[in-house]
Structure 1
Amino acid sequence: MQRAFSSFVRGGNSALPGYKLSLAATLLWTGFFIILPLIALTLRPWQDGIGAVVNELHDTRMFAALWTSFSSAALAALFNIPLGMLLAWALVRGNLPGSGLANALVDLPLALPTAVSGITLATLYGPQGWLGAPLAKLGIVVAYSKPGIVIALMFVGLPFVVRTVEPVLKNLPRDLEEAAALLGARPWQIITRVVIAPLVPALITGFGLAFARGVGEYGSVIFIAGNQPFHSEIAPLLVVVRLQEFDYSGATAIALILLLTSLLALALVGLARRKFSVWGDGA
């Protein structure tokens, strides 16, 4: 027993000392902080019986909130793809003055408290805001509606797209573009087949990360959304409402649906990324 324990601590046949022990500690840490809460979340809605779960499936307010969250997150992530790609291109290839400051500002939404982001966006796009007032004169209402939700999710999700595309652009040889031009490729062919093609897996990854962040976003959205049931109420807010009503089954049921749908979306993003990675390598 002592010999087996000593071999386990030393790492056995691994060249790294303590490999098995560090692996066991990592798996234990992961199981305690990730797997165990997910199992609890999966089992909690069923503790009150299957009838409680079936009853939650007839909650039209829940489905409206889920649709608002997922559709807004998908739109925001989709809009962030061209914006993030252009911003990453400017940071890597632009050589513009103040690029260091711009590079730091990209990560600001990740460091800024979400409540501060929400209050700032609501102030800017409100009826009397710097951007909201001119848009209101044009008949465009942003604050306290679904467009406000999309803008808030674009703000918090943009860094994920930029940071996934940026390293790929840095490692993309500029000789490929010059070679394509010398071989007679047109500008749009260079952009689509030489530049964008290797970026497709990174763009898909950025889309998935931004989408996953947007689905669960709370603080930056509630101040600008208006929080009207069946119109601009997001699912995370409805979870809080259900908890305040002591409806723990309803809250965990919504959380479980968010979890399963997010996992499914990320799995589909992973499949698409592998497919286009093979296409990119073959190209």
Structure 2
Amino acid sequence: MTASTPTASVIRPKRVLPGFGLTMGLTLTYVGIIILLPIIALVLKGAEVGPLRFLEIASAPRTLAALKLTISAAAMASVLCAVYGLLMAWVLVRYDFPGKRLLDALIDIPFALPTAVAGLTLSALFAGNGWYGAVLEPQGIKVVYTIWGVTIAMAFTSIPFVVRTVQPVLEDLDPQYEQAAATLGAFPFTAFRRIVFPAIFPAFVVGISLSFARSLGEFGAVVFIAGNLPMETEIASLLAVIRLEEYDYNGAAVIALTLLILALVLLAASNLLQARAMRYKGKRQ
């Protein structure tokens, strides 16, 4: 008679949340109802017009002018967010100073502030009799009712994306690599370029992409400072609203679908760049 070996009991970690089936079901339900269904409805509405009519609406002079302004302003706003967002994240992580917690909290104000309030505030500040406009306009720099006003409004609402994606990566970055580079004689900028920036690059790209995608669809903060002049300062999202007010639902759907496609392509490209950067980082390690 052979002695039976005791069966090792499988120790499973305690779950704080319900099991995989329930949590996955709730997640898919949310994604389906809140995200996928509206997108599918928009795609179907845009597809009703047919490809020829779709191209005709999308290539109309007024639509092209609105798309050109929106994309150009969003690109410039993303550059501003990339520069100042990186600097803000660096200051918040690497330095201690009085009021640091307050500054950290102020970064999230564009998320909490209604965009219409932000647009009204920016319009008042940059108007000819505003605090900023009274200084800029005598120098020949006009912001309100120009592409520069649109860019500032977009940057104001989207800069937290860069800060909040880069900041946690900087916090988790081990400073011993920079210290080792310094002991080897590397200048601070060289250490940043060769050590710090490659480590934060995937998060940096994601933050810029989210900033650009947010700027493409921004409405409330832009509509007050842009002036909404057709063919000049009219953004694409406003043109879609105008088409709705004219009961041109197909035209509004085509413009909205065009913005959606641009945003999805950009996010897909940023995810691809992020994946490549992570693979390259893994090979180097």
TM-score by length of 2: 0.90
Q: C-alpha displacement at 1:90, in angstroms?
A: 1.0
Q: Distance in 2 between matches of 1:153 and 1:79?
A: 10
Q: Distance in 2 between matches of 1:47 and 1:106?
A: 42
**Corresponding residue SS for 1:36:** helix
C-alpha change, 1:134 and 1:49, in structure 2 (3 Å) is same
RMSD: 1.8
- Partner residue, 1:161: 162
- One-letter amino acid of the structure 1 residue matched with residue 280 of structure 2: W
Q: C-alpha displacement at 1:128, in angstroms?
A: 1.2
Answer yes or no: is 1:78 the counterpart of 2:79. yes
Q: Distance in 1 between matches of 2:93 and 2:21?
A: 40
- One-letter amino acid of the structure 1 residue matched with residue 145 of structure 2: Y
Q: Distance in 2 between matches of 1:142 and 1:159?
A: 22
Q: Distance in 2 between matches of 1:254 and 1:177?
A: 48
Q: Distance in 2 between matches of 1:240 and 1:58?
A: 18
Q: Distance in 1 between matches of 2:229 and 2:103?
A: 36
- Partner residue, 2:88: 87
Is the Cα–Cα contact under 8 Å of residues 154 and 222 in structure 2 kept in the other structure?
yes
Is the Cα–Cα contact under 8 Å of residues 80 and 154 in structure 1 kept in the other structure?
yes
When the two structures are aligned, how many residues end up with a matched partner?
270
Is the Cα–Cα contact under 8 Å of residues 52 and 249 in structure 1 kept in the other structure?
no
Q: Distance in 2 between matches of 1:268 and 1:54?
A: 24
Q: Distance in 2 between matches of 1:170 and 1:189?
A: 20
- Partner residue, 1:222: 223
- Partner residue, 1:5: none
**Corresponding residue SS for 1:260:** helix
**Corresponding residue SS for 2:27:** helix
Q: Distance in 2 between matches of 1:144 and 1:276?
A: 40
**Corresponding residue SS for 2:214:** helix
Q: Distance in 1 between matches of 2:59 and 2:96?
A: 56
Counterpart mapping for 1:111-126 below 5 A: 111-126=112-127
Q: Distance in 2 between matches of 1:115 and 1:257?
A: 24
- Partner residue, 2:6: none
C-alpha change, 1:245 and 1:163, in structure 2 (3 Å) is same
- Partner residue, 2:268: 267
C-alpha change, 1:41 and 1:197, in structure 2 (3 Å) is same
Q: Distance in 2 between matches of 1:194 and 1:26?
A: 37
Answer yes or no: is 1:202 the counterpart of 2:211. no
- Partner residue, 1:140: 141
Q: Distance in 2 between matches of 1:248 and 1:91?
A: 46
- Partner residue, 2:3: none
**Corresponding residue SS for 2:140:** coil
Deviations 1:115-140 (A, max 9, x none): 11001101111111111111111111
- Partner residue, 2:189: 188
Deviations 1:137-162 (A, max 9, x none): 11111111000111111111111100
Is the Cα–Cα contact under 8 Å of residues 200 and 277 in structure 1 kept in the other structure?
no
Range moving further from structure 2, 234-243 or 123-132: 123-132
C-alpha change, 1:54 and 1:182, in structure 2 (3 Å) is closer
- One-letter amino acid of the structure 2 residue matched with residue 203 of structure 1: F
Segments of 5+ residues of structure 1 without an aligned counterpart are 1-13
**Corresponding residue SS for 2:137:** helix
- One-letter amino acid of the structure 2 residue matched with residue 168 of structure 1: V
Counterpart mapping for 1:1-283 below 5 A: 18-50=19-51, 52-281=53-282, 282=284
C-alpha change, 1:53 and 1:93, in structure 2 (3 Å) is same
